[in-house]
Structure 1
Amino acid sequence: MKDQATPGTLTLDLLYATPSIIGTTPEACFWSADGARLGFLWNDRGESFRDVWTYDVARAVKRRVTRLGDDKRGEAGPGITEAVWLGDGRIVLVLAGRLYIVGADGTPGEIEPDCTDVSALAVSADGARLAFTARGSLLVKDFGTDAPACLLVPAGERIAIETFEWAKKGDLIAFVLADNSKVRQIEIAYDAQGVAHRDTFTRAFPGDEIVRLRPGVVSAARGEPIWFDRPDEQNAIWGFGLSGDGRSLFVSESDLSIKNHTIFVYDVATAAHTTYYHFHDPIQIRPDWQVAWAPGDRGLILLTNRDGYNHLYRLPAGGRAPERITEGTWEIEAFQLDRRHEQIYFTANRSHLAERQLYRVPVAGGEVEALTTEPGTHKPVYSPTFDWVADRFSDDRSPPEIYARRLGGDQTAIRLTQSPLPAFCTRNWAQVRYVDCVSRVDGAPLTARLMLPPDYEPGRRYPLVVGSVYSDALCNQWGGRDIHPSWGFDQCLVASGFLVVNPGIRGSFGRGKEWNRPMLHSYGTLDIEDIADCVRGLIEQGYADPQRIGLWGSSYGGLMTLMSLFKKPGFYAAGVAGAPATNVSHAYPEQEWIMGAPRGDDYPARYERQSALYHTAGLADPLMIIHGTRDEVVLYADTIALIEKFIAQGKRFELVTLPGSGHSWARESLAQTRFAYGKMVEFFTTHLKPR
């Protein structure tokens, strides 16, 4: 269809509406135990309520199973949030935190009515039992009996199950219990809807007591939990798993600074442990580790960047040197093991920095086989037999869709969803290209994701909006970095005559730990230089008008926006800081990965050097701050402290307060999304003046 629309038709009202012009993203793929049927959650009308859909791979038949969304048309809410197949072919699902089983006619009937806040459905290897959490407790329901669900591990006051998984066979469940009973609680007072509120949050700061994590194993046959002690229960747990015979449990952990990665292996019968693996890395800033038992329990498979890039290794025995399985100047994001065929399936950026393609390699090592080639982002859910994969695919021009892809033979891919509304094809959407730049600090390679108008004119210099600035921003998928719903805001800006760029900055996945090394202890230093060097590259290549550069970001991106304005006055014409992390002393303790611990001869100067609150004197350019008053992640009080300094220093700024809004201020309602992004469009239009 030839597009007859004009770029200016992409308004925020159109882009953030119900039903959505880009449709409803299909989510939560789940396979039957025999790999013959795929399920997923979707709405084919672009409304928010997702129902259960299935696809029979043998008969090539797709059907909608539940029709609860028919009664919820036009209403907000995600609908069904989880679903799993039992061994007998029935589907169990979660709706509004309650548990239901789907009847033959597709009508769900509630089960376990006393269980609320249900999540994390997981079916045992025999398909007869369902484990789940309810209000933080771990329960199991045996569908071979009429008995109610059995409580296995109860929650307590600020104590709850964090995660769990079934053994590969048998009735054992491994779990991690999170104990927040000693963690600081903070109170946030705010006004919203004409009412004064005081909400309490469990919230630690750097140097505080943090959550204590305790691993355990319990039998689904009403056994008492077996607990496993760790040298420091405040160390983070990055993974755990029972061996195939159920006799051993590995726990992958690190200290809070993530500079020491350790894998313990416990004897389930005695709870004794040995140190299977340990690696100290003083420059580590990303915990991208993953561990799994090798086929036949012959050691462990490890994903680590110990030699520079995230790659796969075999750990044949405790204390033995790791053996390489993959290598190269590219990185693996995650893997899954096909134990029966001794193959490792993984997602990596081997083809391009911004892509995520699917690959496999033998456990014994050897040639890496590419399973997908379409440029973009592939997010897989493999069938238990590894004959098929549900591939949630998206690229820079296409919203996410689900494809059923055969893994053997001709590797046929069958499209199962068509999410965008017909109006999607009548609009002119932005072009996207990737532009290479170079750091002026150390000569390191940089790449930027650049959005151009459909009628882009080479040689013309456009006003440029940088953002949303953040790490891991290079993603060849619809909307780029998808944690923030800024896809529509970006499209609106481009339709209004701006270019939009997402710089790939240090601290990101994909280029190895040496490329990331300079980020240690340097929030607001090298990261803002990377942003500026990407902008300089676009100016030098003739894209951008150097007098009309704006930038924005939220949370850490808000910190980068403020630091960029404070340290580089005159470089940017305007900036918007959403929920800006102005004081790193009030960050979560996990930010010590970069900031370092709050101690030592250079503390507190090291924290002040990384905090925008102590650099306000440099502000000389237009600034807007957007912040919600109920934000427990980045405190609204920190924005007030910043504003007090601005006032004392005679600085000019704008403040947009969102009453009762939390940290995810752009996701809480479509009305608020349109309002906040609308303020930003007006701000950038005023100060960057697109033609």
Structure 2
Amino acid sequence: MIKSRLFRCRVSAAALLMAAGLGAGMPVFAQTHEPAKGTAQVAGTSLSLDELYRFKSLIGTTPENFAWSADGGELLFLWNDEGYSFRDVWSYSVKTGRKTRLTFLGKDAKPEAERPGVMQAVFLGKGRVAFTIGGALNIREADGTVTAVETDKQAIRKLAVSPDGSKLAFVSGNPVDTRNRVTLGGLLWVRDVAAKGGNVARRVAGEDDPKIYVDSFQWGDDGKAIAFEQADDRAVPERDIYFYAKGGLQNNRVIRAFPGDETTRARIGVVSLASGETRFYERPDAKHHIWGYGLSRDGKRLFVSGSDMEAKEHTIYMFDVASGTRETFYQLREPKHIRPDWQVAWAPGDDGLIILTDRDGWLHLYHQRSAGAAPRQITSGEWEIASFEVDAAKRQLYFVANKSYIPERQLYRVAVAGGAVQRISPETAGTNQPVWSPDFRHVASQFSSDTMPPELTMIDTAKPGRATQVTRSPQPEFYAQTWSNTGYVEFPSHVDGQKLIGRVSLPANYDPSKRYPLIVGSVYSDAVQNQWGGRRAHPTWGLDQYFVAQGYIVLNVNLRGSWGQGREHNQAQWHSYGTMDINDLESGVRYLVAKNYVDPARVGIWGSSYGGLMTIMSLAKKSDVYAAGIAGAPATNVWHAYPSQMWIMGPPDGPDMPGRYEAQSPLYQVQGVKDPLMLIHGTRDPVVLYSDTVALTEKMIANQQMFELVTLPGANHGWDNEGIVQTRFAFKKMVEFFDRTVKNRK
């Protein structure tokens, strides 16, 4: 159990469910923060947005990029113990329980610079560490001295030491030339670990053309070969994104395909380090997705896991490494499949493959021993597995799953032969993101919960159910605040009765005799998770806390298309952007209104990207439900989505086009918007084009529909995560808008 003077154990997941008690007073929530003695319970934090989002982070700096030593006795991680953004390299000894700061590169960094610092670090053995910072490779010797190496290369990343510890592989960008390149490129290099300095790495894969690049790689178990994925963007369209910023016209030229365009072609190669020769292993259609690949432990076979462009047919090809011959090992087609959550790995002893698939309706583990054989199911139940690792020596599988409760991510193991599933992580509700030691004796987990910002915890798998908290990241002021009460509700869809889950944050002094204004959002798929801030793709933890402190309730819904509730639940989203998803959001609003938590006249909704699509569609189709909405970087026109969105939208041809795409695009539905709408968008955005927001505003002007537009010059798709100054500005605009149109609505 994680122990701390200022944290106490959470109650069980079952006690968090509000479904049974919503109508009978305040639901049971777990409030694990203990306010300072003498502090009266208040609505929530007393901090302003400026104080919540500051350069010395209130919640601390997240420990990241865990890397184990070869013997599993020591862990590297990147962290800043003062709460600034610059991460240095730290180590933790499993034997002594001591953490040590290994680099001091951030000691002179100005807090307002918001520099990320070290990006990756790996052990080289004998007390030496390799790390990257600013795209440059450095080696820290055992005596603490730091030397820059491979200085003739740029954008170095993806460090990986060979299994025998003798070589370091990495990817770098292509050499700079005079042409206007639109990709970073990627060349694969190998360097002797024993080398002390200089530019001594040997290039083993990659092309001079940066549009043909090494996207990923894996060492073979014997360290004699490397399998890698080579991507080819030469046929993908290039697009100019012109925008004004810093007083002049700028151009963000990107490689960017739309549905129906040519896409990246990928193939897997294996390079022999002894001969330098590379063999590529071709699939029937190089345009199809690759989701995974791996060499057998004896190096004689190679699997490639992929699917068609719409992610409807999962196929695993098996290749003979020496001859290149191919056979279809596994194949399953599901016409309405929308999530490529598959994962594949070699079974112990190269005895076939372990496959994570939802072939029985839920994501579970299977063992298939030979091509075309019937897969044997290892795990089962109405819960799902997110990822797994194979302990070949002990013939066990370690995995992350929501077996305990849908919003959680806990750690488990099971024998390859099947049998009882054993929980490894403590009985503490929350989310684990694990990195297993090479011998699986320990697991380093980035653990977080609704009441605890992310921390590094350590679990001894021989003593399951207990964890040691290694880092302590939040600032002292964090513990002095009163934070929201966050818990979960279950309710049926008002359309088809499917069970839905909601994450609800209430003011700490919630009064059941009152009906509160409600903020639904930020809306997105996979948005209901027991971790600090809920959905962490956006830094909205402080915004949500501020809303609750100002007297709002905040709701999010695990809408259709999300992970964790099985295939029947997520496939209802097929061809249904702006239809089934917004129905699910409405079901959550209806539920809280029916339980007298929420004032039905004061409901706001907001989201970004796909969440912006849902926001505008909700205002257009459900004006009786919402008072106002905010759409950030809204995907208004699915004709301009990424081709991967065809998993849900379907292809842009057929007899039902263009009607099907128009039905899923706010641009063609916006005439129904009657309530206040704010649009927030960065002009440099290559994911959702700013020009699509302009097209929407042109329609609204023609229709005499009122709206507010917040333009962020030069901002990218992550408009609320590009620096504290911009975050504060955007969130203040949002608060002012919702206070005016929702909370204080006349």
Question: For this structure pair, what is the TM-score category when the shorter chain's length is used for normalisation?
Answer: over 0.9
State the match for 1:684 in structure 2.
Answer: 738
Report whether the alignment pairs 1:72 with 2:109.
yes
Report the CA distance between 1:108 and its aligned residue. 2.1
Report whether the alignment pairs 1:261 with 2:314.
yes
1:191/1:197 contact within 8 Å kept = yes
State the match for 1:124 in structure 2.
Answer: 162
State the alpha-carbon separation in 2 of the partners of residues 351 and 157 from structure 1: 46
Report whether the alignment pairs 1:195 with 2:259.
no
State the match for 1:141 in structure 2.
Answer: 191
Report whether the alignment pairs 1:471 with 2:506.
no
Report whether the alignment pairs 1:335 with 2:388.
yes
Report the CA distance between 1:689 and its aligned residue. 2.3
Report the CA distance between 1:450 and its aligned residue. 0.4
The CA deviation string for residues 421-449 of structure 1, in whole angstroms up to 9 with x for no partner, is 00101111111010111101111011110
Report whether the alignment pairs 1:151 with 2:203.
yes
1:406/1:412 contact within 8 Å kept = yes
The residue type paired with residue 106 of structure 1 is: G
State the alpha-carbon separation in 2 of the partners of residues 224 and 395 from structure 1: 48
State the alpha-carbon separation in 2 of the partners of residues 3 and 113 from structure 1: 57
Report whether the alignment pairs 1:668 with 2:719.
no
State the match for 1:206 in structure 2.
Answer: 259
State the match for 2:697 in structure 1.
Answer: 643
Report whether the alignment pairs 1:653 with 2:716.
no
The CA deviation string for residues 35-55 of structure 1, in whole angstroms up to 9 with x for no partner, is 011111100000000111111
State the alpha-carbon separation in 2 of the partners of residues 214 and 537 from structure 1: 49
Q: RCO (CA 8 Å, sep 6+): is it higher in 1 or 2?
A: 2
State the match for 2:68 in structure 1.
Answer: 31
Aligned residue for 1:68, secondary structure, equals coil
Report the CA distance between 1:88 and its aligned residue. 3.3
State the match for 2:423 in structure 1.
Answer: 370
TM-score, normalisation: structure 2: 0.91
- Spell out the pairing of 1:471-550 with structure 2 (5 A cutoff): 471-550=525-604
State the match for 1:595 in structure 2.
Answer: 649
State the alpha-carbon separation in 2 of the partners of residues 144 and 377 from structure 1: 39
Aligned residue for 1:71, secondary structure, equals coil
State the alpha-carbon separation in 2 of the partners of residues 384 and 245 from structure 1: 18
State the alpha-carbon separation in 2 of the partners of residues 690 and 175 from structure 1: 57
Aligned residue for 1:642, secondary structure, equals helix
The CA deviation string for residues 473-509 of structure 1, in whole angstroms up to 9 with x for no partner, is 1110000011111111111111111111111100001
State the alpha-carbon separation in 2 of the partners of residues 690 and 403 from structure 1: 43
Report the CA distance between 1:8 and its aligned residue. 5.7
1:67/1:106 contact within 8 Å kept = no
- Spell out the pairing of 1:604-623 with structure 2 (5 A cutoff): 604-623=658-677
State the alpha-carbon separation in 1 of the partners of residues 54 and 341 from structure 2: 36
Report the CA distance between 1:379 and its aligned residue. 1.1
Distance 1:323 1:653, change over 3 A: same
Question: RMSD over aligned Cα, in angstroms?
Answer: 1.3
Report the CA distance between 1:669 and its aligned residue. 1.2
- Spell out the pairing of 1:344-363 with structure 2 (5 A cutoff): 344-363=397-416
State the match for 1:282 in structure 2.
Answer: 335
Report whether the alignment pairs 1:230 with 2:283.
yes
The farther-off stretch of 340-349 and 84-93 is 84-93
Report the CA distance between 1:516 and its aligned residue. 1.8
Aligned residue for 2:572, secondary structure, equals helix
Report the CA distance between 1:271 and its aligned residue. 1.2
Q: Which runs of 5+ in 2 are unaligned?
A: 1-35, 174-185
Report the CA distance between 1:193 and its aligned residue. 1.0
State the alpha-carbon separation in 2 of the partners of residues 198 and 642 from structure 1: 22
2:86/2:114 contact within 8 Å kept = yes
State the alpha-carbon separation in 2 of the partners of residues 331 and 433 from structure 1: 21
Match of 1:399 among 444, 450, 453: 453
The farther-off stretch of 216-225 and 113-122 is 216-225
State the alpha-carbon separation in 2 of the partners of residues 646 and 106 from structure 1: 61
1:3/1:428 contact within 8 Å kept = no
1:405/1:414 contact within 8 Å kept = yes
Report the CA distance between 1:514 and its aligned residue. 0.8
State the alpha-carbon separation in 1 of the partners of residues 151 and 255 from structure 2: 29
What is the percentage of aligned positions where both structures have the same residue?
Answer: 52
State the alpha-carbon separation in 1 of the partners of residues 114 and 275 from structure 2: 40
State the match for 1:57 in structure 2.
Answer: 94
State the match for 1:183 in structure 2.
Answer: 236
State the alpha-carbon separation in 1 of the partners of residues 323 and 518 from structure 2: 62
State the alpha-carbon separation in 1 of the partners of residues 504 and 544 from structure 2: 11
Report the CA distance between 1:160 and its aligned residue. 1.1
State the alpha-carbon separation in 2 of the partners of residues 498 and 671 from structure 1: 24
1:3/1:425 contact within 8 Å kept = no
1:22/1:420 contact within 8 Å kept = yes
The residue type paired with residue 332 of structure 1 is: I
State the alpha-carbon separation in 2 of the partners of residues 220 and 256 from structure 1: 33
The farther-off stretch of 193-202 and 42-51 is 193-202
The CA deviation string for residues 45-93 of structure 1, in whole angstroms up to 9 with x for no partner, is 0000011111111122221111111121413111001000113331100
Distance 1:60 1:667, change over 3 A: same
The CA deviation string for residues 280-311 of structure 1, in whole angstroms up to 9 with x for no partner, is 11111100000000000000000000110000
The CA deviation string for residues 554-575 of structure 1, in whole angstroms up to 9 with x for no partner, is 0000000000000112320110
State the match for 2:153 in structure 1.
Answer: 115
Report whether the alignment pairs 1:40 with 2:40.
no
State the alpha-carbon separation in 2 of the partners of residues 621 and 145 from structure 1: 65
State the alpha-carbon separation in 2 of the partners of residues 355 and 61 from structure 1: 29
The residue type paired with residue 68 of structure 2 is: W
State the alpha-carbon separation in 2 of the partners of residues 204 and 94 from structure 1: 31
- Spell out the pairing of 1:562-577 with structure 2 (5 A cutoff): 562-577=616-631
State the alpha-carbon separation in 2 of the partners of residues 220 and 665 from structure 1: 44
2:424/2:464 contact within 8 Å kept = no
State the alpha-carbon separation in 2 of the partners of residues 410 and 491 from structure 1: 34
1:345/1:358 contact within 8 Å kept = yes
State the match for 2:182 in structure 1.
Answer: none
Aligned residue for 1:492, secondary structure, equals helix
State the match for 2:32 in structure 1.
Answer: none
2:45/2:481 contact within 8 Å kept = no
Distance 1:625 1:410, change over 3 A: closer
Report the CA distance between 1:458 and its aligned residue. 1.9
Aligned residues: 691
State the alpha-carbon separation in 1 of the partners of residues 223 and 159 from structure 2: 17
2:45/2:483 contact within 8 Å kept = no
The residue type paired with residue 153 of structure 2 is: C
Aligned residue for 2:125, secondary structure, equals coil
Report the CA distance between 1:145 and its aligned residue. 4.9
State the match for 2:31 in structure 1.
Answer: none
Distance 1:615 1:3, change over 3 A: farther
State the alpha-carbon separation in 2 of the partners of residues 220 and 549 from structure 1: 62
State the alpha-carbon separation in 2 of the partners of residues 47 and 684 from structure 1: 31
2:423/2:464 contact within 8 Å kept = no
Report whether the alignment pairs 1:299 with 2:336.
no
Report the CA distance between 1:219 and its aligned residue. 2.1
Report the CA distance between 1:463 and its aligned residue. 0.3
The farther-off stretch of 454-463 and 133-142 is 454-463
